[in-house]
Structures are given as structure tokens and as C-alpha cells.
Structure 1
Amino acid sequence: MNTYHFHFNNGQKSSTILFWFFTTLLTIVLTITVLLVHPDPLFPTWLLLISLPLMFMAIYKLFKVASERRSGEIVSLNKEGFTSSCFGSVLFSEIHSIQVPVRQIGLLGGLQRDYYKNTDVDTPYLEFSITTQDGKMLNWILNEWGGIYNSEEEFSIFFNFLTALTNQLYQLYHTNEPYNSYLKILGEKGSWEKRG
């Protein structure tokens, strides 16, 4: 049994993060305005006593909510399937489809890090998903070169899990077929679907 430990972005609470982001911006602007236009009667001193604590609270809430998007994952892979600490047990026979953003992953010949450095495009968070036959979705969002939610080493660990998983599915469903370009079973667009 192989075990993989990594962190990922669970993609939850996006609207809450946006709320606290804009609240933080608003309180910073209000506080700076009160400090710069201090003698003006439109902005009395007591307003600073309100805006400063509000600003610090908004910044704290923003960081707290953003950190809650970081989940720790432990995946144990065995001959029948895998067990995820975040999503539970999944048998290989239950997996209906897999989606991998192959065009963005440098390890698969996709866009290299230099591309993101030389353009205005942000380094992407890559979303990987597995759908089971009963419609359950397992989503992991990671950054190949590391970021707030996972390190570069953790992406490599996740990629090792993905490689082992697709190797098992290849042996289960495609033994007599030649390898595809990506992780043995994925098509050019990074998808695999169980036939029949």
C-alpha cells in the first residue's frame, strides 16, 4: 500500500473570500482617508477609532478564510482502489471519469513556468477531478510550482499518486492497448472515461 501526503486548495468559500477581500479594501481606503484628511470636520477623530479596528479585523478574517481553503490530504493506494482522508474510499471499478489539465502541466509537456513569467498570465492553479459512477466528484486544486496552498514538492507527491492511479486503471482496462500520451490512459485533452 502506497501513501501520499500533500496539501491542496479545496476551492471552497470563494464568495466569502471575495466578501472579506473587498471589505478589507474598503476599510483600508477609509482608514487612509481619515488619516490624510484628519483636520477636516467631515472626518472626525473618533472615526479613526472605528475604522482602524475594522481594518485589522477585515485583514484577519481575509487571511483566516483564505487559510481554510488549504486542506491536508492523505491518500492510501491499494490494489482495489484508494482511500482519501478528504473524500473517503473509492474503488477503481467505481471510477467513471478523470479530468486532468494536461495543457497547463509542465511535467506533461504543457506550458512551462517561463511562459507564465514572461506573460501577464497568472501561474495557474490546476484542477484535477475524478467522478465516480454514483456522481460523486473528487476535486484537488494544486499549483505545479508551489503557492499558498501547496508546495512544489507536494505537487510532485500528488503527481506520483496520479501516475500510480492511472497505471492501475491502465492495467485494469487497457492492458492490450498501447499507451496514450499522458499518464498512459488520458487523451490529448486530459480526460479519461470508463467505457461501457
Structure 2
Amino acid sequence: MFDPTAFENLKIVIEGAVYDRDFSGEILVTDRNDIINLAKLERRFEISFVDKVNRGKKITAIWVLEAKLENLAAELLPATLSEKTAGCHVAVKFELEHPNEFSIFKDIKKALFEIWGDSRNIDQLIQMVPFENQTKIKNVVTIKFNRLIYEDQIDDLTTMVDFMIKSLRDLSKIIK
């Protein structure tokens, strides 16, 4: 019989947690990607959603779950690799548009550190067309957790939805 990998089990929990909030009317799921990279033998799952209350703010939350070859191999071939690598990488992203003002970048980072903790890596990558006179830029904010997530931490994943919704709401106050 097929025994699902940690990636599959974590993905199901993430989907369930997000879709429960979608069905309750708090958020709206806007995209979902389940990708298998055959060249690198990696899995990637992304689910995107917006806060229904602030839908007009153009802020999207994206939950990313990844398992690389070494993670899958450690789980499927435990005799050859350490079980410590038999987990998944989790990241949270927020895509938002706002004026290209340094104070906004600082406020975003401060707000997210308050929600997620200062032990996280929070990166901001802006996208803009340099030859156009744009009033707003696109900012992709990524929160990295700097460790693998294992199946015994499944309960932590469901509480992450609360943090993501709070982040969406706090970010909407910053970009006005």
C-alpha cells in the first residue's frame, strides 16, 4: 500500500486549514499550484489567498511548501540518509503594491517581525519598470523559517493561517 510522504501529509493539512477559512468567508483562495519538477525531483505546493475584508488593497498571501530530492530520499530511503532531513521547507510570501517609500518598507518589516518573531528572515524584493513613471511598485515579501518542518509539527501549520490573516490585515493598514 502507498504510504504518503511528509510532503503529502503537510500539504493536505495546509490545504484544509486554508480552505476552512475560505469556506467560513474570512479569506478568498485565488490560486493554487502543485508542481513536480522532474529534472530536479522536487515538489512544490503554493496556495494563494486574499483577505475578504481588504480585497481591494491588492495584497496576496502565498503559502509555499517544498520538498527537495534530499528531503524525499531521506524519508523514502531512511537507511541511506539521516531522518533529520526528512521534512519540508515552508515559506510565507506577501505580494503587495505600494508607493516606493523607504518608510513603508521599514513599517512592513517591523509589522511582520512583531507577528512572526525576529528570528525569521524577512526579505523584500521590489519589481518595477524603470523607464515608466510609476506611482506604485510591487513588493514581494518573503518570510523564511530557516529550518525544516516535520510531520510532528503539523498542528503548527494550522495556526500559521491566523498569522497570515493578521499579516494581511496589518499590511493593509500600512499601505492604506
Q: What is the TM-score of this pair, normalised by structure 1? A: 0.22
Bigger-Rg structure (1/2): 1
